[in-house]
Amino acid sequence: MNLRRLGAVARKESLHIRRDPRSLILAVGIPMLMLLMFGYALTLDVDRVPFVVWDQGHTAASRDFIARFTATRYFAFRGPADSSAAIGRAIDTRAALLALVLPPDFGPRLAAGRPAAVQAIVDGSDSNTAALVLGYTTSIATAFNQALPLAAVRRATGTTPAPALDLRARVWFNPDLESRNFIVPGILAVIMGLIAALLTSLTIAREWECGTMEQLISTPVKRSELILGKLLPYTAIGLANLAVAVFMAVFLFQVPLRGSVTLLFTLGMLFVVGTLAQGILISTLARQQLFASQLAMISTFLPAFLLSGFAFAISNMPLAVQAITGVVPARYFVAIAKGIFLRGVGLATLWPEALFLAVFATLVTAAAIRLTRKTLS
């Protein structure tokens, strides 16, 4: 390999990127825009759930029960309802996702030590939100139910008995359970993989469409020098994008970075090089920019979003799909990003993911070199 020819190809590609504003916008602007959109718009938190109450008894006990919902940040009281029809209208118009129906004898039955029924009506059109709302409702109802016998003992004896079980929960790595801390590190892999593959998927195809590939064929530049020379400037752009994304994650979205920054960028470079090489391989096979860009989108963004474990747990997928995720590079960088950002783990824990990315980058680059032909056929 001749380093002079390699540098000439890299310089040629760098000049093209600098002179083409569309490439610069695609390379720099879109990752920042996507991170902003995903970071602010995509959330798994369910807060301030609107709810209405049909309190048919208007007793002190019913008011105490309703107050437990209004006192949390998870529910937002939208007013009383006076009939089942009013509840139906509130849920149909999405003015409420939860409706509580308290019977007229709610207070008297509790005062007499008998069970009282409470109906919770949940809008199940969004199953994930409905499951969380039901969980919140059940938790509040359970706490209220447990407080009743304790209050009765306190009135009778003047003392409060100690609970039989003292559960002390401790959440590691994400103590506030902020979904942003979970989403932003994972979305780095989705964005970086997509942009990297899109950038390089147009390189070889553009040469063929513009007629400049014939000139490259006539030069003594070898296939390896051509591919690696085109990879170098985009690798620099990819690392710059990664630096901007990490900066935004830490200082804009306040995601804690507990691990090694050096390790994050080292393994990130492996991921960037692998996806860049994947884009060049696509460009080599497609030879048409439109087809190459579409193929890059299908082969990077969709697997990264659906099969990387970023949005959906891999363990919940069918076994056949779990096997397919084993060849998705974004799966491994998602694990690396979350491990370094949230858990602060090092290479001793992340070496399987690092090994896969290194092997993937090597094999895909070798395939791109092998399949690049310096012929017009």
Mean pLDDT of 118-126: 91
159: which residues sit within 8 A by CB, 6+ positions away?
153
Q: Render pLDDT for 254-287 as a digit per residue (tens, 0 to 9).
A: 899 999 999 999 999 999 999 988 888 888 887 7
Residue 125 pLDDT greater than 80, yes or no: yes
Q: Render pLDDT for 233-256 as a digit per residue (tens, 0 to 9).
A: 888 888 888 998 899 999 988 899
User: 213 pLDDT band (50/70/90 cuts)?
Assistant: low
Mean pLDDT of 40-46: 74
Q: Where are the domains of the chain?
A: 3-43+178-371, 49-157
Q: How far is the C-alpha of 10 from the C-alpha of 210, rounded, in Å? A: 18
> Residue 50 has what pLDDT?
94
Q: How far is the C-alpha of 69 from the C-alpha of 238, rounded, in Å? A: 48
Are 310 and 190 in contact, with CB atoms under 8 Å apart? yes
- Reference 135, options 125, 120, 148; nearest CA is 120
Strands 75-80 and 98-102: unpaired
pTM, two decimal places: 0.79
> Residue 290 has what pLDDT?
77
Are 361 and 353 in contact, with CB atoms under 8 Å apart? no
Could you identify the residue written with the tokens 């048409």?
288
Could you identify the residue written with the tokens 């809008």?
123
Q: Render pLDDT for 44-78 as a digit per residue (tens, 0 to 9).
A: 677 889 999 999 988 988 899 999 999 988 899 99
> Residue 163 has what pLDDT?
66
Residue 168 pLDDT greater than 70, yes or no: yes
User: 210 pLDDT band (50/70/90 cuts)?
Assistant: confident
Greater pLDDT, 51 or 170: 51
Give 3-state DSSP helix, strand, coil % of the chain, rounded to 5: 70, 5, 25
> Residue 42 has what pLDDT?
73
Q: How far is the C-alpha of 181 from the C-alpha of 257, rounded, in Å? A: 10
User: 214 pLDDT band (50/70/90 cuts)?
Assistant: low
Residue 162 pLDDT greater than 80, yes or no: no
Greater pLDDT, 284 or 164: 284
For 263, other C-beta atoms within 10 Å of its C-beta total 17
Candidate CATH numbers 3.40.50.1980, 3.40.50.20, 3.30.1520.10, 3.40.1710.10; the one for domain 49-157: 3.40.1710.10
347-371 and 329-338 helices, crossing angle to 10°: 150
How many alpha carbons fall within 13 Å on the CB side of residue 87? 18
> Residue 377 has what pLDDT?
53
Q: Render pLDDT for 218-237 as a digit per residue (tens, 0 to 9).
A: 677 787 888 888 888 888 88
Q: How far is the C-alpha of 307 from the C-alpha of 318, rounded, in Å? A: 11
Mean pLDDT of 172-188: 82
